[in-house]
C-alpha cells in the first residue's frame, strides 16, 4: 500500500526488470515492497512492486539488496530514474 518507511538511500543499478539499492534496514528474500521514484521537476513519478531477491550487509552498517520488478519499466522511466539522486 506504500505506507511503509523509506528504506532506500541510493540506487546502485537499474534495468527494465530490476534494481540494486542501498538500504537502511535489511529485507528477507521474497519480501515484497513498493518502490516509488518521483521528481518535483519535471513533475513525474513511477511506482513498481518488487520482490527482494537478495540482501547483504555492507561495511557502513547498511544493506545492499537486489529486487525483481513485477513489470518491466518503460525506457522513459529508466531515463527519469537515472537522473535522480536519493538523499540520505
Q: How confident is the model at residue 3 (pLDDT cuts 50, 70, 90)?
A: low
- Overall CATH class of domain 8-82: mainly beta
pLDDT at 84 over 80: no
pLDDT at 82 over 90: no
Q: Where are the domains of the chain?
A: 8-82
What confidence score (pLDDT) does residue 2 get?
60
Q: How confident is the model at residue 1 (pLDDT cuts 50, 70, 90)?
A: low
What is the per-residue pLDDT across 5-62, written as a single tens digit (0 to 9) for each? 888 999 999 999 999 999 999 999 999 999 998 877 778 889 999 999 999 999 989 9
Residue 1, CA distances (Å) to 23, 32, 40, 77, 85 in order: 19, 11, 22, 21, 24
* Strand arrangement of the beta sheet that strand 8-14 belongs to: 8-14, 18-23, 63-69, 44-57, 32-39
Q: How confident is the model at residue 88 (pLDDT cuts 50, 70, 90)?
A: very low
* Long-range contacts of residues 31-35, Cβ cutoff 8 Å, at least 24 apart: 33/4, 33/7, 33/67, 34/1, 34/2, 34/4, 35/8, 35/67, 35/69
Amino acid at each position: 500500500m506504500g505506507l511503509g518507511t523509506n528504506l532506500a538511500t541510493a540506487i546502485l543499478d537499474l534495468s527494465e526488470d530490476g534494481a540494486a539499492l542501498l538500504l537502511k534496514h535489511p529485507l528477507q528474500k521474497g519480501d515484497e515492497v513498493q518502490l516509488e521514484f518521483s521528481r518535483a521537476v519535471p513533475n513525474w513519478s513511477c511506482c513498481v512492486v518488487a520482490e527482494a531477491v537478495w540482501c547483504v550487509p555492507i561495511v557502513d552498517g547498511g544493506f545492499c539488496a537486489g529486487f525483481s520488478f513485477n513489470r518491466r519499466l518503460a525506457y522513459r522511466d529508466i531515463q527519469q530514474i537515472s537522473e535522480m539522486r536519493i538523499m540520505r
